């Protein structure tokens, strides 16, 4: 497979954006070298202990330099209610579709573009921000993304800019007539005191399997706030590998929520560096998987300076033969006193063949801290179920109610207007699709 990606690189070389920028070419080459050295991750690597990428190797993915003939859709599958004002970007098979996007009016100091445009408009700025965040883990997929990076979105907010409406980025896959692999690279830079809400929705159009290996770099400067919510509802034959690296400055907030219902195999890897005093991070998620799905949530939070806080809650429901993985690492560096870090992983196993592997990890080098983590796994509470059944509620409905309530608790944390109902609806949709006879 490593070979195949090398071939992709060879084939795409002339089509990748930013050909004229020598620093970018060098950056791509470094990524390619790093990837070639490590190859695809294997379960022998500690960070990939529970997730094997073998299924990917069984599909013969192609790479595509230029977008195929336009597929037209009536309406982009937005998560927000019709009337909500938002800035919308749509990507189909990794390529930006301006015809489906609707940027709307932006306040002064705000810029939403694509990586390709940014390479033309302001390459120097890009040079100063791309690939500048440190990675705590060995990340071969990130190296591959760096080598092959394609058009993603770029969000820039100047000092003090507040975006009143959310930005919605919709990724649609599977539209082509052959299995495709693509590597979107996104960049979010919020300068001092700015605020934005970013909503990502991953969905699918056609029948073809696809592999999306995305990378999002986020920097939230002093006093800025980014709310970043994502629903990954990719096709059940798709592969979704997403890496997010965020750096959070003094008194800044990064609020993240990721819900997973789609993809044959998915990995959502988020690493956050809290590098300014008073930095705050919420890292939440929910997942519902069934069939033979494999869902991996891996997070690393680095508390680098004193007085930072982090709250992390991941809740999941695993049915059939699906497997879920939660790896959460909370690292308090030397001298990062007064850190407040809490992490929780809760999982419901609904079938006899469902599986959960959890590794909540604390690594602490400062003494004046309050850190905790918790992890639970098990079936629905039999007492609660009995309570509902005793009141004449059929078992299937009672189970659905309990699951909805279980996940609803974490969805309620989301601060974006209009998004919660859409997420609850997708939970309801998932529950309706289950066999109901557990």
Partner 1 sequence: MAATVETVEQVRGIEKYKYGFVTDIETETAPKGLSEDIVRFISAKKNEPEWLLEWRLKAYRHWLTMPEPEWAKVQFPPIDYQDSYYYSAPKSPEDRPKSLDEVDPKLLETYEKLGIPLTEQKMLAGVAVDAVFDSVSVATTFKKNLEEVGVIFCSISEAVQNHPELVKKYLGSVVPYGDNKHACLNSAVFTDGSFVYIPKGVRCPMELSTYFRINAENTGQFERTLIIADEGSYVSYLEGCTAPMRDENQLHAAVVELITLDDAEIKYSTVQNWYPGDENGNGGIYNFVTKRGACRGRNSKISWTQVETGSAITWKYPSCILQGDNSVGEFYSIAITNNHQQADTGTKMIHLGKNTRSRIIAKGISAGQSDSTYRGLVRISAKAEGARNFTQCDSLLIGDRCGAHTVPYIESKNRNAILEHEATTSRISEDQLFYCRQRGISEEDAVALVVNGFCREVMQQLPMEFAVEAQKLVGISLEGSVG
Pairing relationship of beta strands 294-303 and 265-274 according to DSSP bridges: parallel
Nearer to partner 1, 169 or 283 (CB): 283
Min separation Cβ 274 and partner 1, Å: 17
Element of type H or E holding 364 = strand 355-364
Name the CA dihedral angle for 142, 265, 10, 32, rounded to a multiple of 10 degrees: 20
Cβ atoms of 380 and 354 closer than 8 Å: no
Q: Is there binding between residue 44 and partner 1 (CB under 8 A)?
A: no
Identify the three-state secondary structure at position 281.
strand
Pairing relationship of beta strands 95-96 and 87-92 according to DSSP bridges: antiparallel
Nearer to partner 1, 6 or 357 (CB): 357
Largest separation between any pair of C-alpha atoms in the chain? 70
Nearer to partner 1, 182 or 314 (CB): 314
Q: Is there binding between residue 374 and partner 1 (CB under 8 A)?
A: yes
Can you give 360-402 as a three-state secondary structure string? EEEEECCCCCEEEEEEEEECCCHHHHHHHHHCCCCHHHHHHHH
Nearer to partner 1, 68 or 342 (CB): 342
Sign of CA dihedral 300, 360, 373, 293: positive
Q: Is there binding between residue 372 and partner 1 (CB under 8 A)?
A: yes
Binding residue for partner 1, selected from 39, 128, 378, 394, defined by CB under 8 A? 378
> From residue 95 to residue 134, what is the string marking binding to partner 1 with x (rule CB under 8 A)?
----------------------------------------
Q: Is there binding between residue 46 and partner 1 (CB under 8 A)?
A: yes
Binding residue for partner 1, selected from 373, 389, 393, 424, defined by CB under 8 A? 373
Min separation Cβ 431 and partner 1, Å: 17
Min separation Cβ 337 and partner 1, Å: 7
Q: Is there binding between residue 369 and partner 1 (CB under 8 A)?
A: yes
Nearer to partner 1, 30 or 359 (CB): 359
Cβ atoms of 165 and 73 closer than 8 Å: no
Binding residue for partner 1, selected from 300, 377, 403, 416, defined by CB under 8 A? 377
- In the 8-state DSSP scheme, what is residue 47? G
Min separation Cβ 318 and partner 1, Å: 9
Min separation Cβ 211 and partner 1, Å: 27
Q: Is there binding between residue 335 and partner 1 (CB under 8 A)?
A: yes
Comparing C-alpha atoms, which of 422, 94, 80 is closest to residue 241? Answer: 94
Comparing C-alpha atoms, which of 214, 216, 271 is closest to residue 248? Answer: 271
Nearer to partner 1, 150 or 349 (CB): 349
Cβ atoms of 196 and 227 closer than 8 Å: yes
Min separation Cβ 81 and partner 1, Å: 36
Cβ atoms of 284 and 257 closer than 8 Å: yes
> From residue 348 to residue 367, what is the string marking binding to partner 1 with x (rule CB under 8 A)?
-xxxxxxxxxxxxxxxxxxx
With contacts defined by CB under 8 A, name the span among 52-60, 128-136, 265-273, 344-352 that binds partner 1.
Answer: 344-352
Q: Is there binding between residue 370 and partner 1 (CB under 8 A)?
A: yes
With contacts defined by CB under 8 A, name the span among 118-126, 194-202, 208-216, 375-383 that binds partner 1.
Answer: 375-383
Cβ atoms of 144 and 37 closer than 8 Å: no
With contacts defined by CB under 8 A, name the span among 9-17, 27-35, 189-197, 343-351 that binds partner 1.
Answer: 343-351
Q: Is there binding between residue 310 and partner 1 (CB under 8 A)?
A: no
Packed helices 382-390 and 395-411: angle between N→C axes, nearest 10 degrees: 120
Question: Beta partners for 285?
Answer: 258, 314
Nearer to partner 1, 263 or 347 (CB): 347
Question: Beta partners for 271?
Answer: 245, 300
Binding residue for partner 1, selected from 7, 57, 121, 379, defined by CB under 8 A? 379
Alpha-carbon distances of 349 from 31, 203, 234, 318, 433, rounded to whole Å: 39, 25, 22, 5, 17
Min separation Cβ 426 and partner 1, Å: 23
Point out which residues bind partner 1 (CB under 8 A).
46, 334-335, 337, 347, 349-379
């Amino acid at each position: 497979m490593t070979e195949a990606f090398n071939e992709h690189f060879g084939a795409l070389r002339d089509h990748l954006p930013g050909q004229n920028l020598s620093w970018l070419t060098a950056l791509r080459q470094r990524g390619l070298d790093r990837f070639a050295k490590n190859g695809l991750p294997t379960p022998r690597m500690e960070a990939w202990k529970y997730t094997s990428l073998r299924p990917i190797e069984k599909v013969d993915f192609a790479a595509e330099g230029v977008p195929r003939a336009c597929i037209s859709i009536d309406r982009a599958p937005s998560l927000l209610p019709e009337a909500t004002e938002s800035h919308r970007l749509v990507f189909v098979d990794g390529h930006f579709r301006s015809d489906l996007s609707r940027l709307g009016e932006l306040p002064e100091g705000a810029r939403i573009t694509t990586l390709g445009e940014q390479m033309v408009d302001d390459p120097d700025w890009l040079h100063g921000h791309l690939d500048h965040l440190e990675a705590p883990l060995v990340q071969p997929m990130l190296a591959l993304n760096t080598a092959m990076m394609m058009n993603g979105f770029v969000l820039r907010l100047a000092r003090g800019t507040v975006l009143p409406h959310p930005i919605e980025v919709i990724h649609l896959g599977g539209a082509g007539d052959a299995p495709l692999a693509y590597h979107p690279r996104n960049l979010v830079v919020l300068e001092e005191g700015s605020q934005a809400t970013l909503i990502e929705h991953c969905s699918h159009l056609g029948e073809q399997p696809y592999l999306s290996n995305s990378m999002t770099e986020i920097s939230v400067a002093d006093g800025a706030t980014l709310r970043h919510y994502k629903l990954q509802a990719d096709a059940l034959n798709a592969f979704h590998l997403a890496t997010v690296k965020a750096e959070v400055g003094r008194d800044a907030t990064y609020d993240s929520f990721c819900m997973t219902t789609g993809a044959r195999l998915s990995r959502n890897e988020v690493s956050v560096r809290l590098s300014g005093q008073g930095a705050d991070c919420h890292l939440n998620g929910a997942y519902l998987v069934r069939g033979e799905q494999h869902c991996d949530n891996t997070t690393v939070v680095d508390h680098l300076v004193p007085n930072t806080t982090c709250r992390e809650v991941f809740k999941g429901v695993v049915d059939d033969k699906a497997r879920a993985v939660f790896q959460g690492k909370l690292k308090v560096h030397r001298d990062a006193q007064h850190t407040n870090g809490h992490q929780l992983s809760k999982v419901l196993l609904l079938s006899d063949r469902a599986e959960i592997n959890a590794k909540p990890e604390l690594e602490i080098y400062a003494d004046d801290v309050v850190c905790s983590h918790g992890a639970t796994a098990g079936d629905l509470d039999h007492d609660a179920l009995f309570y509902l059944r005793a009141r004449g509620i059929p078992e299937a409905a009672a189970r659905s109610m309990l699951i909805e309530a279980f996940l609803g608790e974490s969805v309620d944390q989301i601060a974006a207007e209009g998004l919660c109902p859409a997420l609850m609806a997708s939970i309801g949709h998932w529950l309706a699709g289950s066999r109901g006879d557990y």
